[in-house]
Amino acid sequence: MTQIVVVTGGLRQPSSTRLLADRIDAAVRAELGRSGLPVTSSFVELRPLGRAIMDAMLTGFAVPELEFAFETVAAADGVIAVTPAFNASYSGLFKSFFDVLPAETLADMPILIAASGGTDRHSLVLEHALRPMFSYLHAIVSPTGVYAATDDFGGQARASGLAVRIQKAAADFVRLMTACGTRTPRDTFNEELDEMTRLLADRQPGPSSGHVED
Amino acid sequence: MQFGIFTVGDVTPDPTTGRTPTEAERIKATVAIAKKVEEVGLDVFATGEHHNPPFVPSSPTTLLGYVAAQTERLILSTSTTLITTNDPVKIAEDFDVLQHLSDGRVDVMLGRGNTGPVYPWFGQDIREAVPLTVERYELLRRLWREPVVDWEGRFRTPLQGFTVTPRPLDDVPPFVWHASIRTPEIAELAAYYGDGFFANHIFWPASHTQRMVAVYRSRFEHYGHGTAAQAIVGLGGQVFIRPRSQDAVAEFRPYFDNAPVYGHGPSLEEFMAQTPLTVGSPEEVIERTLGFREYVGDYQRQLFLVDHAGLPLKTVLEQLELLGGEVVPVLRKEFEAGRPADVPEAPTHESLVAAVRREQAAGSDDAGQDS
C-alpha cells in the first residue's frame, strides 16, 4: 500500500491552501491508481499543531500529538507539502514544523511542493524557498510544483489552468515515486549505536569488568 | 540506593525580585547547598561544569575539594565532567588528588557538554565529538590503571613513559558514570566498559529515558558485565516541594515561567505531565519518584535538581530539609523493599577496593592450585 502524506500549512477555515492540497492529493491518488498501485493518503494539518510546534522549538521535545505527526511523515512513501506564501517565502509555521521534524526524516523522500498565494506574482516562492529547503533536508523534490493564486480558483479550464498544472505535477510526482521504489525510513538511533559499536571494536583493549558483585 | 543533588551552577536573576546573585554569592551558595546535602542525610553532591556565562562552575575539583574539607560522608561527583574538551591527563590528576583528600568519597560523571563554542574554545571540533569521547575515555582509563603509559592518538599529543601522579587512592580509580540525555552512543560506551549510566531524565519525556536505559542494560549484559538488571543506572529528577501542594505550585510558578531552559513555552502543568518535573507535596514527590522504577527497573542513584532558575538559597535549603526529612527516608525504604537481592548497590570506593581484593585473592588461589 502506497502511503501519501499531505502536510498543509493553511491558517484559516476554509483554507485555500487546504483546497489546493485536496486537489493535488486527489490527482496524485488517481494517477497512482491508474498505475495499479493501491494508495491511501493522510493529512498533517499544521494549524492545530501550532502550539505543539512552538513548544517543541522551545523545549527540544515533541508532545505526543506532534510525535504522531512526525511518525506519520516518516512512514510516508511520498509527501505533498503545501504552504501559503507569506512575505516572499513559506509561512513561519510551515518552516517551524520542518525545523522541529527530527533530522533525516525526509531523507530520500519524494516530495511534491505547492503553495497558495494572493496573486500569481509570488509563484517563484516554490523555486526560491520550498525547493532549496527540501533539497537541504535530502528530500527528492519533484521537478514540477504547483502554485495557485486566488484567481486560479475562478480561472477557466484551459491549457495553463490550475487543473492542468495539478494534473501535470501529479503525473510527474507519480513517475518520480515509482522510479524511486520502496523507501526504507532512516533509523538514526540504531545507526548511531552501530557506529559506536564499530568505534569501540576498533579500540585496543577489550572491555574489563570488575565492580559488579556476583 | 544513593540519593543526592546535582546542580548546573547557573547565575539566574530571581524573577520575583529581579535580583541577580553575584558570582561569589552563587559559588558560596553552592557550598552551603553541598554541606546541607550531607546534613539532611543525603549521599551525593554533583556539580556541573561550564565555561561560559551565566554559569560559575568552571573548576569542579576546586569546588569539590573545598566541600570535601567541610564534609565527612558526602560522595562528591560531577554532572558532568566534559570528556570531550578536558585533557584526560588533567582529569586523572584532578580527581586523583580529590580522591586522596576526601578519602575516596569521589566518583565522576562524564558527559560531552552542550555548548557548541566550548569545543573550538578548547581546540576541538564538535563534529568529532563521538570519536573524541571514545579516544579520550580510553586514555583516561589507561592513565588510571597502568603505572606507565605509552600512548598515541588523533586528538592529543602523544605520551611516552608517562605516569599520572598521584596514583589513584588504593590503586582503585574513581567509579565512572556516563551521562546522556538522548545520545545512544553514550549508553553503548557505558555498557561496553561496564561503567554506570546516568540518564539526565529531567526536561525530557520519560520515554526517551526508558529507551536509553533499555539500550544500556541490554548492551551491559551483551558485553558480559552481568545481567541487564545488574547494570548501574542513575537518574535525574526535578522537584519543588512544600507541605501543601498548592503552595508549592504557586511559589514555583514564576521560577518555572521564566526559567532559561524551558520558560515561556509549555505551562507548568503541561511540563509536569510531559517530563519528570514534580511540584507538590512530599507525598506527591514520593509517589512520582517511586514510579521511575517502573520504566527503568531497580536503579542505584537518584539525583535531584533543586537550585536552578534563580531560586534563592534560603528556599533551596528548605527544599533540602524537606527532601532529607520527609521524602528520601520513605524512598529509601520503598526502593529497598522491592529490590531483588542480585541487583547491586552503586559502587563506592570501599566496594571497589573490596572487589579488587577479592579478585586478587582469587588470583593467588588459582596460582597456588597451578603450582
**CA-CA distances (angstroms) from residue B72 to B41, B44, B67, B160?**
11, 12, 9, 38
What integer pLDDT is reported at residue A155 of this predicted model?
73
Spans in chain A with pLDDT lower than 70: 204-214
Residue in B142, B188, B194 closest to A211 by CB: B194
The residue with cell 501550532 is A50
Q: Is A192 on the interface with B (CB under 8 A)?
A: yes
Gap between the Cα atoms of B203 and B209, Å rounded: 11
Chain B partners of A211 at a C-beta cutoff of 8 Å?
A: 175, 194, 232, 347, 351-352, 355
Q: Is the peptide bond before A14 cis (omega within 30 degrees of 0)?
A: yes
Contact check, Cβ <8 Å, B134/A203: yes
What integer pLDDT is reported at residue B369 of this predicted model?
54
Give residue A2's region: left, alpha or beta (phi > 0; psi -120 to 50): beta
What integer pLDDT is reported at residue B368 of this predicted model?
53
Contact check, Cβ <8 Å, B183/A192: yes
Which helix (H) or strand (E) segment holds residue A84: the answer is strand A78-86
User: Is residue A214 domain-resident?
Assistant: no
Q: Is B183 on the interface with A (CB under 8 A)?
A: yes
Gap between the Cα atoms of B184 and B112, Å rounded: 13
User: Is residue A213 domain-resident?
Assistant: no
Residue in chain B lying closest to A58 (CA): B265
The topology under which CATH files domain B2-345 is TIM Barrel (3.20.20)
Residue B187 pLDDT more than 90?
A: yes
Query: What average pLDDT does this structure show over B127-154?
Result: 96
Query: What average pLDDT does this structure show over B41-68?
Result: 97
The residue with cell 494508495 is A39
Residue A67 lies in domain: 2-201
Residue B273 pLDDT more than 60?
A: yes
Which helix (H) or strand (E) segment holds residue B108: the answer is strand B107-111
Q: Is B147 on the interface with A (CB under 8 A)?
A: no
The three cell numbers of residue B51 are 565555561
Higher pLDDT, B53 or B363: B53
Domain count for chain A, please give it: 1
Chain B partners of A207 at a C-beta cutoff of 8 Å?
A: 192-194, 223-225
Per DSSP, the three-state class of A79 is strand
Chain mean pLDDT for chain B: 95
For residue A198, give how far its alpha carbon lies from the nearest alpha carbon of chain B (Å).
11
Contact check, Cβ <8 Å, A189/B211: yes
Contact check, Cβ <8 Å, B193/A207: yes
At B246-270, the pLDDT tens digits run 999 999 999 999 998 889 999 999 9
**CA-CA distances (angstroms) from residue A18 to A22, A62, A114, B283?**
6, 24, 11, 49
- The Cα diameter of chain B in Å comes to 76
Query: Long-range contacts: A156-165, Cβ < 8 Å, 24+?
Result: A162/A23, A163/A23
Gap between the Cα atoms of B314 and A138, Å rounded: 52
At A67-113, the pLDDT tens digits run 999 999 999 999 999 999 999 999 999 999 999 999 999 999 999 99
Q: Is A182 on the interface with B (CB under 8 A)?
A: no
Overall size of chain B counted in residues: 371
User: Is residue A39 domain-resident?
Assistant: yes
For residue A100, give how far its alpha carbon lies from the nearest alpha carbon of chain B (Å).
15
In percent, how much of chain B has pLDDT > 90?
94
ipTM, two decimals, is 0.88
Is residue B71 a contact partner of residue B33, using CB atoms and an 8 Å limit? no
Chain A partners of B134 at a C-beta cutoff of 8 Å?
A: 196, 199-200, 203
Chain A partners of B208 at a C-beta cutoff of 8 Å?
A: 61
Q: Is A209 on the interface with B (CB under 8 A)?
A: yes
Contact check, Cβ <8 Å, B194/A205: no
Gap between the Cα atoms of B65 and B51, Å rounded: 19
Contact check, Cβ <8 Å, B130/A54: no
At B157-182, the pLDDT tens digits run 999 999 999 999 999 999 999 999 88
What integer pLDDT is reported at residue A210 of this predicted model?
45
Contact check, Cβ <8 Å, A61/B274: yes
Chain A partners of B188 at a C-beta cutoff of 8 Å?
A: 193, 196-197, 200
Q: Is B115 on the interface with A (CB under 8 A)?
A: no
Domain ranges across chain B = 2-345
Chain A partners of B130 at a C-beta cutoff of 8 Å?
A: 195-196, 199
Chain A partners of B343 at a C-beta cutoff of 8 Å?
A: none
The residue with cell 495553463 is A160
Gap between the Cα atoms of A27 and B209, Å rounded: 43
Contact check, Cβ <8 Å, B189/A200: yes
What letter represents residue A75's amino acid? A
Chain B partners of A102 at a C-beta cutoff of 8 Å?
A: none
Residue B367 pLDDT more than 70?
A: no
What integer pLDDT is reported at residue A204 of this predicted model?
57
Q: Which of residues 62-91 of A touch B (CB under 8 A)?
A: 63
Interface contacts A/B by beta carbons within 8 Å: 89
Q: Which of A193, A189, A40, A22 has its CA nearest to residue A105?
A: A189
Q: A57, A191, A196: which to substitute to probe chain B, counting the most B Cβ within 10 Å?
A: A196
The residue with cell 511534491 is A112
Dihedral of alpha carbons A196, A198, A202, A207, sign: positive
What integer pLDDT is reported at residue A213 of this predicted model?
42
Neighbours of B325 (CB within 10 A): 12
Contact check, Cβ <8 Å, B266/A205: no
3-class SS letters over B135-192: HHHHHHHHHHHCCCEEECCCCCCCEEEECCCCCCHHHCCCEEEEEECCCHHHHHHHHH
Q: Is A206 on the interface with B (CB under 8 A)?
A: no
What integer pLDDT is reported at residue B366 of this predicted model?
64
Q: Provide φ and ψ at A41, rounded to 5°.
A: -135, 150
First-to-last C-alpha distance (Å) of chain B: 43
Q: Which of residues 204-223 of B touch A (CB under 8 A)?
A: 204-205, 208, 211, 215, 223
Is residue A86 a contact partner of residue A20, using CB atoms and an 8 Å limit? no
Query: What average pLDDT does this structure show over B130-144?
Result: 96
Q: In CATH, what number is assigned to the domain containing residue A146?
A: 3.40.50.360
Contact check, Cβ <8 Å, B352/A58: no
Contact check, Cβ <8 Å, B189/A59: no
Residue B216 pLDDT more than 70?
A: yes
Which helix (H) or strand (E) segment holds residue B194: the answer is none
